[in-house]
Amino acid sequence: MAQPRGRPSPAPDPHGSPQAEPGHARPRTRTALGLLATASALVVGGATLAVTGTGTGAAPASADSAAEVPVGSGSYTTTRPAGASGPSDLNGAPVSPKVTDDHTGPAPTNEWWSSLIFQRYPDNPHGENLFAHPLSFNPHSGGLDMGYPDSHRLVGDDLKYEYTAVTDLTLGAAGLDSPDTRTADSGDWTVTAHWEGGGAQLRVTIGQGLPFAYAETGGAAAEVTFQGSPDIWHEDGSTIGATVNGRHYALFSPSGSPWTVSGDTLTADTGDEGYYSAAVLPSPEDLDAFAPYAHSHVTGSLVEYDYDESAATLTSTYQLQTEAREGEETGTLTALYPHQWAHVSGDLTDLAYVSPRGEMRVSEGTSFTTELTTQGIMPSLPTVDSADHDRMAALIDEVLAGEELFPEPGDTYWDGKAMGRLAQLIPVADSIGHTGARDELLSLVQGRLEDWLTAGGTRQFHYDAEWGTILGYPDSFGAATELNDHDFHYGYFVSAAAVVARYDRDWADEDAWGGMIRLLIQDVAGTDPDGDMFPRLRSFSPYAGHGWASGHAGFAAGNNQESSSEGMHFAAATAHFGALTGDEELRDLGVYLHTTQASTIARYWQNAGGDTFPEDYPEDVVGMVWGDGGDYRIWWDGGHEEHYGINYLPITAGSLYLGHDPEHAGAMYESLVAKLGGEPEIWRDIHWAHRALSDGEDALRMFEEQWDTYEPEAGSSKPHTYQWVSTLAEVGTVDASVTADTAHYAVFDNGAERAYTAFNPGASPLTVTFSDGTTLQVEPGALGSTVGEGGGGDPGNGDGPGPGPGPGEGNVGDGTLHLTDTRLSTGPSGTEGTITVPGADGQNHDGAPPSDSVVLELEDLTGSFTGGSTSFALPVDSGNGIGNAVQVRVSYDFDGDGSHDREEIYHYFATDDLPGWENYTQAQGLSSSDGSFADLDGGSVRVEIWSALGGQASQVRVGGQEGATLGIPFTD
């Protein structure tokens, strides 16, 4: 497994360069939910985003309580592990949230403005550049610099485009000289900053999409200083219109408190309850459109959403709270990002701005609403019959036989990826009837999760009450010290827990292990505006439509988001965990996060539509979105495959959004191939999986050519990649034109027909209706599909895991048959012996059993087909014979009419020339097969063994504990 890169060393002026010190480093491979009612139960209450929701969980322990707080079967600690660090500055010194005395609630982090609250650099107590779009800001002792970056430049060998922060004017108050800048209040995309010193006080509210900045002077005179000589083209007492550096602004003071101009500085005696506002104008002619809203001050922001499952729509309302400081007007103007105005309900004005995300268009009023189609979020894909199930099973066994399934000592990221890698194989094993591997994988993932979710061990979670966050130890990539990447790391925990919940609902109960999983979800995306344990939506920016990775945002370029796909992974996992635990509000939160981000990722990371990147930017993708633009580079010196692939991994069924536009997905793959001058060599499996979203047959071709020689990406595996590419090669590309009345569905089109699949997380049968009129019956806890087998799960009624039917009429037991010297048997023989397989006498009998083949049969069998496949284990020995090979055919007669309904011939097994037993199994793979499985009803099973090559007779061991067995995919 490739190792993660080292973190870059900070530059001499770390907050002067966006590349100096990472906001998050990526690896090289890569509601009030209730209070703690008892020592072992977390009481749950449902809620919706913005009203109530998944906001707080177990209450933090009081100062005199135990250091370990129980949450169901799990626990967290309120005492940091010995030697571990929490939120720190660049020198490693602990830092506290930089807030005012009247600030309430846990400290938000991972925002576009987080450098105000998290002081990363000891020499800067104010904060870094703040990119609100269309405006940029920079705080300092004298107030807040304000500017409108309306042009870009290319830097770093043209690998980055940036709309660099500019200063056109400074918002201040007379005499202000503040030792720091603090956070007084915040909303979902707005923040109020506070300065105090030199006998003056200033508070300014700013926000994403706001062309206004709203200031309160606390008794001092308003003071605005232009950076350069302004061209004042409108002067009417309390309203000033001016142009500086080619950009146009309006200043508004209270009526009766006119502006006084002295050189580059304007002042207004605003009185004890002083206030003023400043706005950037698209042009001087737009002053009249802004003036009515000058004194309607924004005080907060909140997003509310409604997911209509039956109609497959997500409606999001972006609401600003305002206060009329003068007059009665409470409306305002808001600039919408492209992903918003492309889906907005209602009319927009003709006003527009430039931004790093493309053109922003202006809405009038205190709210606007968008409507998005919700594509399904699947927990896994079905396995198609055309795939080699035996090879798939053998590859799963190879994973389980690996020497290091989990890294040591393990941390929140690398352990998370390891759990995710194994968890993704559980439904694959289930879908092919490899139940032993399924259960072993479940045990491994469940055990590692429980290890993490229990305080006091080498791996554990800690609640930091000062910052209102859950920190995992050991951590990595600044997850604890910089509050980085919590959605990236914890998404793997939630995803693994959702898979366990699929097969064991009791495990995910609140009074079992579900309570701790919910705490991780709340840390990342708690939704209670009044929660006292976690901030609201820490790792998701509702207005930007995506997350921000850095907890402190301490960069000249603003905050950043690199692996958008890992943010999507968290969203999908949240939807699955909510659905499987019967919590629709939690499921809907996952749908909201997933659907909203899907509307931004192709646009802002891959320039879908061609309107985001500047025309002179030479790249087709950016590895990282910054507040000031986009950068092809990532947090380590990776190859082109990693620059593209960091926004694809991990590949799960929740990754189908990458293929909602197959043509665009194909263009992205071709772009990478053009850069490389050939097919990918690094992270090949990630790119094969992505390629399959536009051309499954090509992806399968590449896998088949290289499957036994390539090294999987650290979070991926050969059997999962094989299942993915083989399924998409058969079913085709995602057909996003067809929706369904469930949250968990997918539709594919291969040019000849559509394939439909859906998952039923509930305890009752579900009829899924697709928008083209197709219906699909899905059993409780199962994944249904018109193509292939999806596997089952625990439907929540105590049945437990397993894809097959329950006990019934039959005589095949668990489907294990034993070979004797004369026949097949349902029970083992206590007498050890051997069967002699005649040699081939120098003939080639590959695929054609001769007349002297060993034939063993068992008749009058009744059993239900489990959906699995044939397996066998034959201990064979050819002594010192050279060039010998043994071969097997298995035949099924399902109804006992004397004709074989299914025949399977397996590739021969070449024996060595040394005495001793060798194991011939189905892992050799099918050479040919004919016919489909059906239930056994008085039927028969036959196995034939012969020498395909060589002149030496061979022996097959039978009887005893180590004798030959045949596994048939049937059960009583």
DSSP 799-858: --S-SS--S-S-S-TTSEEEE-SS-EESS--SS-EEEEE---TT---TTS--TT-EEEEE
Sign, CA dihedral 481-483-485-489, equals positive
Q: With CA atoms as reference, report the closest residue to 417 among 25, 26, 723, 716.
A: 716
End-to-end CA distance of the chain: 43
Q: Which two tokens stand for residue 902?
A: 């299914």
Q: Which two tokens stand for residue 251?
A: 């200043």
By CB atoms closer than 10 A (0-12, 13-18, 19+), residue 610 is: exposed
Q: Which two tokens stand for residue 384?
A: 């198609």
Predicted local confidence at residue 900, as pLDDT? 94
Q: How many residues does the chain have?
A: 972
Q: With CA atoms as reference, report the closest residue to 108 among 468, 475, 546.
A: 468
Instruction: Give the number of C-alpha atoms closer than 13 A to the C-alpha of residue 814, restricted to the C-beta side.
Output: 11
Quick one: pLDDT band at residue 808, thresholds 50, 70, 90?
very low
Q: Where in the chain is the domain with CATH 2.60.120?
A: 816-971
- CA distances 432 to 387, 398, 501, 614, 662, Å, are 10, 16, 20, 49, 28
Quick one: pLDDT band at residue 830, thresholds 50, 70, 90?
low
Q: Is 815:858 a contact under the CB 8 Å cutoff?
A: no
Q: Is 819:452 a contact under the CB 8 Å cutoff?
A: no
Q: Is 532:605 a contact under the CB 8 Å cutoff?
A: no
Does the domain made of 86-301 have the CATH classification 2.70.98.30?
Answer: yes
Q: What is the mean pLDDT of residues 215-225?
A: 96
Name the β-bridge partners of 583: none
The 10 Å Cβ neighbour count of residue 218 is: 19
187-218 pLDDT, tens digit per residue, is 999 999 999 999 999 999 999 999 999 999 99
Q: With CA atoms as reference, report the closest residue to 690 among 646, 638, 630, 730.
A: 646
Q: Please give the Cα distance from 430 to 789 (Å, whole number).
A: 9
Task: Select from 1.10.357, 1.20.1070, 1.10.287, 1.50.10 the CATH code of 14-32+398-472+479-768.
Answer: 1.50.10
Predicted local confidence at residue 40, as pLDDT? 27
Q: Please give the Cα distance from 110 to 106 (Å, whole number).
A: 13
Cβ-proximal residues to 737 (8 Å cutoff; 6+ apart), any chain: none
Predicted local confidence at residue 272, as pLDDT? 84
Q: Which of 125-139, 150-164, 781-795 has the lowest mean pLDDT?
A: 781-795
Q: What is the mean pLDDT of residues 75-104?
A: 97
Q: Which of 72-76, 415-419, 879-883 has the lowest mean pLDDT?
A: 879-883
Q: What is the mean pLDDT of residues 930-934?
A: 90
Cβ-proximal residues to 236 (8 Å cutoff; 6+ apart), any chain: none
Q: With CA atoms as reference, report the closest residue to 207 among 541, 468, 482.
A: 541
DSSP 714-733: TT--HHHHHHHHHHHHHH-E
Distance of CA 638 to the CA centre of its chain: 21
Predicted local confidence at residue 45, as pLDDT? 28
Q: Which two tokens stand for residue 578?
A: 């909510």
Question: Three-class SS of residue 347?
Answer: coil
Q: Which two tokens stand for residue 491?
A: 């998404």
By CB atoms closer than 10 A (0-12, 13-18, 19+), residue 371 is: middle
**DSSP assigned state of 81:** P
Q: Where in the chain is the domain with CATH 1.50.10?
A: 14-32+398-472+479-768
Instruction: Give the number of C-alpha atoms closer than 13 A to the C-alpha of residue 892, restricted to the C-beta side.
Output: 25
Dihedral (Cα; 39, 41, 47, 48), 10-degree rounding? 90
Q: Where do the DSSP E strands lie in 724-811? A: 733-734, 745-749, 754-759, 766-769, 775-778, 783-785
Predicted local confidence at residue 66, as pLDDT? 53
Q: Where in the chain is the domain with CATH 2.70.98.30?
A: 86-301
Q: Provide the annotated active-site residues.
A: 485, 562, 566
Q: What is the mean pLDDT of residues 943-953?
A: 93
Cβ-proximal residues to 338 (8 Å cutoff; 6+ apart), any chain: 357, 358, 359, 360, 603, 609, 611, 612
Predicted local confidence at residue 827, as pLDDT? 76
Q: Which two tokens stand for residue 470?
A: 């859950």
The percent of residues above 90 in pLDDT, for the chain, comes to 84
Predicted local confidence at residue 860, as pLDDT? 87
What is the chain's percent helix, strand, coil content, to nearest 5? 20, 30, 50
Name the β-bridge partners of 130: 137
Cβ-proximal residues to 446 (8 Å cutoff; 6+ apart), any chain: 500, 504, 507
What are the phi and psi torsion angles at 655 (to 5°)?
-90, 0
Q: Is 129:146 a contact under the CB 8 Å cutoff?
A: no
DSSP 375-443: ----S-PPBPTTS-HHHHHHHHHHHHT-S-SS-SS--TTHHHHHHHHHHTHHHHHHHTT-HHHHHHHHH
CATH level 3 topology of 816-971: Jelly Rolls (2.60.120)
257-299 pLDDT, tens digit per residue, is 999 999 999 999 998 889 999 999 999 999 999 999 999 999 9
Predicted local confidence at residue 6, as pLDDT? 26
Question: Three-class SS of residue 553?
Answer: coil
Helices (H) and strands (E) in the chain, counts: 15, 51
pLDDT tops 80 at residue 920: yes
Radius of gyration of the chain (CA): 32
Quick one: pLDDT band at residue 813, thresholds 50, 70, 90?
confident
Q: Which two tokens stand for residue 83?
A: 């030697």
Quick one: pLDDT band at residue 12, thresholds 50, 70, 90?
very low
Q: Please give the Cα distance from 253 to 237 (Å, whole number).
A: 8
- CA distances 668 to 160, 690, 695, 772, 886, Å, are 18, 9, 12, 29, 47
Predicted local confidence at residue 829, as pLDDT? 66
**Mean pLDDT, the chain, integer:** 91
Q: Which two tokens stand for residue 87?
A: 């939120």
Q: With CA atoms as reference, report the closest residue to 172 among 141, 208, 142, 136.
A: 142
Q: What is the mean pLDDT of residues 240-261?
A: 97
Q: Which of 592-596, 665-669, 849-853 has the lowest mean pLDDT?
A: 849-853
**DSSP assigned state of 673:** H
34-85 pLDDT, tens digit per residue, is 222 222 222 222 333 333 333 334 444 443 345 999 999 999 999 999 999 9
544-593 pLDDT, tens digit per residue, is 999 999 999 999 999 999 999 999 999 999 999 999 999 999 999 999 99
Q: Is 330:128 a contact under the CB 8 Å cutoff?
A: no
Q: Which two tokens stand for residue 259?
A: 């502006």
This prediction's pTM: 0.80
DSSP 507-538: GGSIIIIIHHHHHHHHHHH---TT-SSS-TTT
Predicted local confidence at residue 797, as pLDDT? 66
DSSP 3-17: PPPPPPPPPSSGGG-
Angle at alpha carbon of residue 744, lines to 785 and 31, rounded to 5° = 160
Angle at alpha carbon of residue 384, lines to 380 and 389, rounded to 5° = 95
Q: With CA atoms as reference, report the closest residue to 839 among 853, 824, 825.
A: 853
